[in-house]
Amino acid sequence: MSKRVIEILIFSLIWLTSCSLQDDPPEPFYDNFLSSKGLFVLNEGNFMAGNGSVSFYSTDSMKIYNDIFSNANSRPIGDVPNHMGIIGDRAFIVVNNSGKIEVTSCQTMKSIAVIPGLTSPRQILFINNNKAYVSSLYSTKIIVINPENYTIKRYIDIRRTSESMILYEGKAYISCWSGGDELVVVDTSSDTVIDSVKVGHEPESMVIDQNGKLWVLCSGSYTGEYYPELVVINTVTDSVEKKFQFGSKLMYPCCLRINGTGDTVYFIERSIWRMAVTSCQLPAEPFIRASGRNFYKIGVEPESGRLYATNAIDYQQKGFLLIFNRDGTVADSVKVGIIPGYICFKQ
């Protein structure tokens, strides 16, 4: 009887080991494509899921290359890549929920360095070759890093959390987005706060137009308590010059961008809207209707003025990068990663 027991035992073990533990083969890595002109798309991935990625769209070949960071480095980019800045030949990718900046080569995507231990970093702004500001969703301090040696130099206490940043005439304008309604003005030579400007509720994104005016898109509030506003700031006096109020508190515009000549701004409010900087009112009709698409971020190529937008679909599936013709018709559409977000142009 014991022999039968052993036979059954051996049979059972063989049966269990027959279960496969093999992985699927990894996607092949494509060489040399990063030497072409194009744009990076940061696919945020789902919060806490670590499925963010980086895609590159070559405007020369009109091809998309996905998962380029993980293919180059055999590890994931991290949790929620949110923003990217390029200085020289290096890309600084701000990975929000991983609390780090990944520094990579623009030509190979190979890691050069990691700046870890940052509190919920959001965006990066290069002041010069050895100074950059990093905003933070949860910290009231701007992190000042040295892009040359990848160290934290100091912190600037702005007493508010921060989101988007823009550099103009030696001043950094920093928006206080999450629950805020102000811009903080920092003198970049001394790294000190010199002024603040009250704008609309939740200033989310900013651009500088051809006249040196600062355009600030204030999203309102997701609870519908405040009207969204588009605010124009005089950068000489740092005061509000014009305000355009949106028609409903239930609107939530975001992602203000400007073309290379600085005469037209674009933003998302379900659809994509376009407005001349000389206009006296908000546009009545969208430039590109959403038509079932979930526009998440847009980008305008500085040289050609070509508009790009990402469609996040349902935030679960892989999204699409849409390339538009000048008349707003779709020229091309390519699949990227989950929640395709920030678009960074590589010149």
Partner 1 sequence: MKLLRNILLVISAVSPLMADAQKNSIGDTIHIKEIVIEAKITDGITGSWKQIEIDSGLLSGKKLLSLSDIMTESVPLYIKTYGPGNLSTVSFRGTGAVHTQVAWNGVVINSPMLGQIDLSIIPSAFADEITIDCGSSSMFRTNGAFGGLINLKTKPEWSNGLRAGFDFGTGSFGLWSGSLKAEAGNNRFQSVTRLFYRRADNDFRYVNIVSYPEPVYERRINADFSQHAVMNEIFFRGINSVSSLSVWAQAATRNLPPNILMTATAPGESQKDASIRTIFSHSKYYSKSSIDLTSAVIYDKLNYTNKQAMINSLNQSVSFINKGAWETRFQSGLNVKLALNEEFNIVKSVNYNGLKQRNILSVTGIARKRIQNGGITLLVGEIISGKKLLLPDFSAGFDYYIEGKTGKFIKANLSRNSRIPTMNDLYWNPGGNPDIRNEYCFSGEINGGINHQIDKNFVVSGEASLYSHRIRDMIQWLPGDNNYWRPENILSVNVTGCETNFKMNYSTENLKYFIHIHYTLNKSVYGTSSEQMKGKQLLYVPFSQGGGNIKVQYNKTYASLNGEYTGKRFTTVDNSKFLRGYFIVNSEIGTNLQFLKSNFGFKIRVENILNTEYEMIAYYPMPGRWFMFSVNYRYGK
Chain positions contacting partner 1, by CB under 8 A: 1, 5, 8-9, 12-13, 15-17, 19-21, 23-24, 48-51, 73, 75-76, 78-79, 95, 97-100, 102, 111, 113-114, 116-120, 137-138, 222-224, 250-252, 294, 312-318, 338
| 243, 201 Cβ separation under 8 angstroms | no
Smallest separation, CB 7 to partner 1 (Å): 11
Residue among 193, 186, 237 at smallest CA distance from 212: 237
Smallest separation, CB 32 to partner 1 (Å): 24
Q: Give the span between the Cα atoms of 41 and 91, in whole angstroms.
A: 12
The alpha carbon dihedral of 157, 159, 160, 166 has a sign of: negative
Residue with the two structure tokens 């961008």:
257
Smallest separation, CB 317 to partner 1 (Å): 4
E strand or H helix that includes residue 14: helix 2-17
Smallest separation, CB 85 to partner 1 (Å): 19
Query: Considering beta carbons, is residue 15 or 28 the nearer one to partner 1?
Result: 15
Query: Considering beta carbons, is residue 30 or 315 the nearer one to partner 1?
Result: 315
Smallest separation, CB 194 to partner 1 (Å): 27
Smallest separation, CB 79 to partner 1 (Å): 4
Query: Considering beta carbons, is residue 181 or 301 the nearer one to partner 1?
Result: 181
258 Cβ neighbours under 8 A, 6+ residues apart: 207, 208, 209, 215, 264, 265, 266, 277, 300
Query: Considering beta carbons, is residue 145 or 172 the nearer one to partner 1?
Result: 145
The alpha carbon dihedral of 43, 45, 47, 48 has a sign of: negative
Query: Considering beta carbons, is residue 90 or 318 the nearer one to partner 1?
Result: 318
The alpha carbon dihedral of 156, 158, 164, 169 has a sign of: negative
User: How distant, in Å, are the alpha carbons of 67, 72, 260, 327, 337 from that of 37?
Assistant: 18, 19, 16, 23, 20
What are the tokens at 259?
Answer: 């073309």
Query: Considering beta carbons, is residue 114 or 282 the nearer one to partner 1?
Result: 114
